[in-house]
Structure 1
């Protein structure tokens, strides 16, 4: 029986042993980490209702591997090289909480500006993600899904973009093996932006062409981008969180 949080004390959840813990890994690069509401290296601190904290139900594993109430910006102590804002994680969690049994434990792992090669087995980002995922399970609970939004950094060259499908398939196989979850559900986001239009389409087609069991693709194309034409707006991040929730509940819920 998992350990869950049912109350707060000094900002930290208190634990009981009565509620199932459902763990979700959030990984990838900046659009997963969240840049919604960030402008001129400042976050506007505007938190939509869909992203509000729920101390009794939604928690996050912080950089020190301690569970705490999940609140925006989810990746502030993980993606430390940039200013983080609104991502899809909180709207996703709030959208699924009424449809699953137990509490939702989010494990943020995304780091902005990172290419798929940096998420290969043996690389720091990959090993940190696996370490955090295993730490999350140690306190009780089950990893239910990995949410993955990455690929913009692989649009710098056609050669790199052409390698994306194989690199992503290797990532899926490796993370499942290392977590001992051969059927781990993975929802990946097909990118909506990047540096080269041709390469963006190559990466998008690679993402949509991955045909592995329990791997689902959600398409971000058409979601509103900020002025930088790279990062999703706050409103788009909220919408993406709902899209991820719909995909999870439809395929794995």
Structure 2
């Protein structure tokens, strides 16, 4: 009995000494594993302790995925809707409203929120107004409605210049090379080029030779663009012209409407309202044309 009593006294003395020197060691000695288990629950799978701020961290914003469209040709693509003399009336229809989901590549090759006039810093020799680009983009967004994927935006690359004939858009010419440069730059930050929208040909109606050669030159342009952008199946949607010189307009329209290349389509501007100059489309006509282009694209492709 004496020995047992002595052992108990010694054990209590040692425990008291251990508590004084190292409480943690004493806890381990007494088999207190609860603290260890709690610590393990606070550890992530990587072994680092979790930070509990009282709320979950917000998810990063979804990446931007651009569906890019090249807008090219001459003045009815760059837009003269609402322009009288040397002034644009500033009227923007609801179909042309700006949206954070519609961007444009400006003359300095930077993306910004798109708004009319889209070509103001591209087609600089004349005053620009409403063109088909904004109603085209808004119609695409309307088609997607609430099902538009998060982060998806429409990217417009304006390249049209008024008063230009198709021979000025040949490979090696300034207009063509600038269009290709802008198109290549448009995908550097992500996204993909979905189509080339082309409205041009009025300037080729004034010469019988140019009108006769229009189809061949247009086919060459399509081949060159597809080759230089490494997009052999790039969709091209042309607009058949509604105005021009009487001597050549039928030949140009015939070439546009009758082109048989794969993935080349055409919408007809004939019958759309014209301004008093009998050459350029009105704002109303440009809104209708933009929707026609969107519907033609959506007949064959998705965003």
TM-score of the two chains, using structure 2 as the length reference: 0.77
Larger proportion of helix:
2
Structure 1 residues 197, 16: CA separation in 2 closer, same or farther (over 3 Å shift)? farther
Task: Give the equivalent residue in structure 2 for 1:216.
Answer: 265
Task: Give the equivalent residue in structure 1 for 2:123.
Answer: 79
Which consecutive residues of structure 2, in runs of 5 or more, have no partner in the other structure?
1-59
CA contact under 8 A between 1:60 and 1:107: conserved in structure 2? yes
Query: Alpha-carbon deviation of 1:40?
Result: 1.1
Structure 2 distance, partners of 1:111, 1:228, is: 18
CA contact under 8 A between 1:121 and 1:127: conserved in structure 2? yes
1:172 aligns with 2:216: no
CA contact under 8 A between 2:206 and 2:247: conserved in structure 1? no
Which consecutive residues of structure 1, in runs of 5 or more, have no partner in the other structure?
1-14
Structure 1 distance, partners of 2:247, 2:163, is: 19
Task: Give the equivalent residue in structure 2 for 1:135.
Answer: 185
1:251 aligns with 2:300: yes
Q: Quote the RMSD (CA, aligned, Å).
A: 1.2
CA contact under 8 A between 1:76 and 1:84: conserved in structure 2? yes
- For residues 160-214 of structure 1, what are the alpha-carbon distances to aligned partners after superposition, in whole Å with 9 as ceiling and x for unaligned? 10000000000000000000000001100000001x2131111000111110111
Structure 2 distance, partners of 1:16, 1:115, is: 44
Structure 2 distance, partners of 1:78, 1:20, is: 24
CA contact under 8 A between 1:190 and 1:204: conserved in structure 2? yes
Displaced runs of 4 or more, over 6 A? none
SS in 1 for 2:248: helix
1:207 aligns with 2:256: yes
- For residues 99-156 of structure 1, what are the alpha-carbon distances to aligned partners after superposition, in whole Å with 9 as ceiling and x for unaligned? 2641100000000000000000100000000000000010110000110000000011
- For residues 57-83 of structure 1, what are the alpha-carbon distances to aligned partners after superposition, in whole Å with 9 as ceiling and x for unaligned? 000000000100000000000000000
TM-score of the two chains, using structure 1 as the length reference: 0.92
Structure 2 distance, partners of 1:111, 1:245, is: 22
Structure 2 distance, partners of 1:224, 1:174, is: 33
Deviates further, 17-26 or 112-121: 17-26
CA contact under 8 A between 1:185 and 1:252: conserved in structure 2? no
SS in 1 for 2:161: coil
SS in 2 for 1:170: helix
Task: Give the equivalent residue in structure 2 for 1:25.
Answer: 70
CA contact under 8 A between 1:207 and 1:217: conserved in structure 2? yes
1:157 aligns with 2:157: no
Structure 1 residues 219, 28: CA separation in 2 closer, same or farther (over 3 Å shift)? same
Q: 1:110 aligns with which of 153, 160, 168?
A: 160
Structure 2 distance, partners of 1:135, 1:30, is: 23
Larger proportion of strand:
1
Task: Give the equivalent residue in structure 2 for 1:59.
Answer: 103
Q: Please tell me whether Structure 1 or Structure 2 has the larger radius of gyration of its CA atoms.
A: 2
